[in-house]
Structure 1
């Protein structure tokens, strides 16, 4: 702790600024996660301010529980409460290390478990209808098909897709280099349909959209810049809406679908973990539940004594 930080003694504006730097620079969290954590801490600070506190010196386990209790009374979901509990722990640990708190009250918080809902996924017929739908040979259509094929073939996140550069694709080995969460790099294979779609985009589509500032981005927007996540989401929603009976989902739904179909096809859980870039195998296990639920549904429909 610097002398200036000591004099500020946990003043809220200083704390929030330093916590943001910690999340961005020291923990290297994504911009989305940083925004979520800052929003949670801002809500906590508002709660403390309403209780008459002007700095962190009075923050204790009672204050944390009161804040979370208010969130519960306001009808916040279990997932939100779980995230805010986790954020409170990160925040109080940070403040304790900085000397703004004499002890770490977050250590006394119980664990709020989020309800894990099974993700929506396409069945294999629906996935085929989404990917094989006829489309014109125009740059936008070539790009959209390539993005959809790659999302389904690799299970990558939409942020990872948007961050791809041309030289991340190895056409000789049918693999793509992906930069995932926490700047963890992984190499993911893909099949011939995705390769053909990528070649069509790179040969007949991308050259028509390239501009001086396009750089090495693999997928471009109509103005020549790197494609953004909102555009990819619109493409996925639009294509799914054209398939009768398909559930409405975004790019993450294609990620769920890819993982589920891999497991249903006999892939082992550890391989799916590597392909998706999950840091923990426990995160990947949700897809075994998806497959079991689909098996149960088929059993109930088909077995005479189900």
Structure 2
């Protein structure tokens, strides 16, 4: 079976039928292109000719490149998914990658903000200019809800119910969910919508909740720029990524007594195992606090 024909049909399948996000599709494309490059080097021109030994050799080349276990595991999943598609669509044997074991994941705990760091961060955006009102509302909503930045930038005005304190977000796989937020985010949004957004919009006309300084819908890159600027002003010497606010939301919720299932639903995780990583954070924080505070630790 011609690999290029299979590639085109598979990418069309995950885009149109599976409705994967553009970012996920790009990752699959890159992983498969890397696999195809390996096949070319090995002199293989037919996907059906790949057996278990070649699949193992491909994984070995990934380790030789110094890639992390998480990245290698993702690449295995990408190629395994391709072969599963080939098995159903073209009758190609998919045992080669189906029998491969995923490398054991490295136990990396998600980075999060301590509450005193968040207080410093929130104080930076506490101003009255349209930009400050926008930044404060953006920060408050991210921390209050734990939503992803991709979800934040897609929120329209109609998705916010500021009276009930609920926002509708479109999660992964086009799954909608409703997430509550508290009084701090509610107040920040009211100020932004009344005195910030109308000025930033200038002569633009669209329904996106958050806008940049030109009045256009803010992008994920723009959100990162805003947060990095606030970090510098708060003099917090840490590398930030927007997901840290999502991690902080989950960690603080669990630390203060929220149950796992509720946090799972709020985060939009399809699997409970994705949420359970945050219990490791709270346990590690508890252990460090004990070791630092107990006289005979």
TM-score tier (shorter): over 0.9
Instruction: State the superposition RMSD in angstroms.
Output: 1.6
CA deviation profile, 1:20-53 (whole Å, cap 9, x unmatched): 1112112211111111111010000011011112
- Give the Å deviation of 1:242: 2.9
SS of the residue 1:32 aligns to:
helix
Tell me the distance in 1 between the aligned counterparts of 2:125 and 2:28. 43
CA drift at 1:55: 2.9
Query: 2:78 pairs with 87, 111, 117, which one?
Result: 87
Q: CA 1:172/1:263 → structure 2, altered by over 3 Å: closer, same or farther?
A: same
| Residue 98 of structure 2 is aligned to residue 107 of structure 1 | yes
8 Å Cα contact 1:155/1:276 also seen in 2? yes
Contact 2:254 2:279 in 1 (8 A): yes
The match for 2:135 is 144
The partner residue of 1:223 within 214, 222, 245 is 214
Alignment match, 2:166:
175
Shift of 1:187: 0.8
CA-CA distance at 1:104 after TM superposition:
3.8
- Does residue 295 of structure 1 match 2:286? yes
- Matched with 1:248 is 239
CA–CA separation in structure 2 for the residues paired with 1:134 and 1:27: 40
1:50 corresponds to 2:61? no
C-alpha spacing 1:40/1:207, structure 2 compared with 1 (3 Å): same
| 58-67 or 292-301, which deviates more | 58-67
Which residue of 107, 120, 130 maps to 2:121?
130
Deviation at 1:196, TM superposition (A): 1.0
SS in 2 for 1:232: helix
Question: Relative to 1, partners in 2 of residues 1:123 and 1:63: Cα closer, same or farther, differing over 3 Å?
Answer: same
Aligned to 2:181: 190
Counterpart among 250, 257, 268 of residue 277 in structure 1: 268
Consecutive unaligned residues of structure 1, counting only runs of 5 or more, are 1-9
Cα offsets for 1:228-257 (capped at 9, x unmatched): 000101111221233345532211000000
1:268 to 259, 276, 279: 259
TM-superposed CA distance for 1:91, in Å, is: 1.0
Show CA shifts across 1:131-176 (max 9, x none): 1235442222211111000000000000000000001111121111
Paired residue secondary structure (1:89):
helix
Aligned to 2:154: 163
CA distance in 1, matches of 2:47, 2:202: 51
- The answer (yes or no) to whether the contact 2:125–2:136 under 8 Å persists in 1 is no
C-alpha distance in structure 1 between counterparts of 2:248 and 2:238, whole Å: 11
Q: Secondary structure at the residue paired with 2:254?
A: helix
Instruction: Give 5+ residue unaligned stretches, structure 2.
Output: none
Return the alpha-carbon distance in structure 2 between the equivalents of residues 134 and 230 of structure 1: 19
Shift of 1:266: 0.9
Distance 1:134 1:37 in 2: 38
Give the Cα–Cα distance (whole angstroms) in 2 for the partners of residues 246 and 187 of structure 1. Answer: 34
Aligned pairs, how many? 297
Structure-1 residue corresponding to 2:23? 32
